[in-house]
Amino acid sequence: MAAKNDLVPVRVRVVLPTNNASAVFIGNDEKTFVIYVDQSVGAAIAMFMRGIQKERPLTHDLIGSLFAGLGVTLDRVIINDLRNSTYFARLYLTCENELGKKIVEVDARPSDSLALALQAKCPVFVARRVFDVVEDMSEALKKMSESEGEADEEEK
């Protein structure tokens, strides 16, 4: 497990649809970067961000229900690696039941990890070595937000 100072706290800032995927902008006041995810997972992340109730449980809802039923708590998510333009993440779980307490670390896709973190309202971190090398998309996000605001004004 990484030391606390090797981790950078981040949050999902916005999810934007693209032609074949969803762009998930993740970051903090220092930097924002993008992870591209399947459209279905992008939609799930957006729904968790907005607190939208689904008619039927989606996969991430099912996993959350399984966690609750088994006495598992998602403590945090860490985006821990970047190789060949692919991000990697870990789920840190606490399992507590009649047999005792156990901490489990599980490899997971960052897209699923982010959806589960939003659902569980747990913190998300990025390994410092990953955060330092990702391209800062803060200005691009700011420009998109400004142009979207202008489009909204023109519609009025």
Closest CA to 8 of 25, 35, 28: 28
Above 90 in pLDDT, residue 1?
A: no
End-to-end CA distance of the chain: 51
The pLDDT of residue 143:
79
Closest CA to 144 of 40, 47, 41, 34: 34
What is the per-residue pLDDT across 31-46, written as a single tens digit (0 to 9) for each?
A: 999 999 999 899 999 9
The pLDDT of residue 96:
87
Average pLDDT over all residues of the chain = 88
Assigned architecture for domain 4-155: Roll (3.10)
What is the per-residue pLDDT across 82-125, written as a single tens digit (0 to 9) for each?
A: 999 999 999 999 998 888 899 999 999 999 999 999 999 999 99
How does residue 61 score in pLDDT terms, banded at 50, 70 and 90? confident
Above 90 in pLDDT, residue 142?
A: no
What is the per-residue pLDDT across 62-82, written as a single tens digit (0 to 9) for each?
A: 899 899 988 899 999 999 999
Q: What average pLDDT score do residues 4-13 get?
A: 89
Above 70 in pLDDT, residue 53?
A: yes
Q: How far is CA 89 from CA 73, 134, 153, 154, in A?
A: 17, 15, 39, 41
